Amino acid sequence: MKRIPALQPLSMEHHLSLSLAVKAMRVARGDDEAGKQALCERIVGEYADLWRPHFDAEERCLFEPFHGLSTEIDRLCAQLTEEHRQFDAWVDSMKQGDCSMLEAFGELLQSHTRLEERQLFGLIEEQLDASRKAALEACLENSSSRN
């Protein structure tokens, strides 16, 4: 689906998250324990620099500014924020060497990303007037320049 330019940076990162989700599910379902551990270490290594800033940008630039515009946006944003916290908890467990949740991590990452792309982003695009679009672009630009 073609996204407005303001949302394209997040959508591009969503391609990465879908790839990671598929890999996590595939590796978790296999018998290669060293591969599972290596993938968990990769996720932990990328989390602070890629995934947590992505989640922060979504929460700051989308969830907060669009809160109150529709009950559906509010419901989705609450669910997605809760899922962000679940990813935080799982990554904390991975830091301790526990990769038992790798398959669940992949499954949630896949459904989470699809929910944002297929539902939330469309609802947000419907609410974008010129001032909201400019604010969104500025917020996302500020978020990416800090990384």
Q: Which residue shows structure tokens 């990416």?
A: 144
pTM of the model: 0.93
Distance in angstroms (rounded) separating the CA atoms of residues 28 and 100: 8
SS3 call for 117: helix
Let me know the angle formed at the C-alpha of 4 by 2 and 8, rounded to the nearest 5 degrees: 80
Q: pLDDT tens across 14-33, in order?
A: 999 999 999 999 999 999 99
The percent helix, strand, coil of the chain (3-state, each to 5) is 80, 0, 20
| Residue 24 to residue 46: CA distance in whole angstroms | 14
- pLDDT single digits (tens) 65-123: 999 999 999 999 999 999 999 999 999 999 999 999 999 999 999 999 999 999 999 99
Q: Which residues, in sequence order, are CB contacts of 59 under 8 Å at separation 6+? A: 81, 84
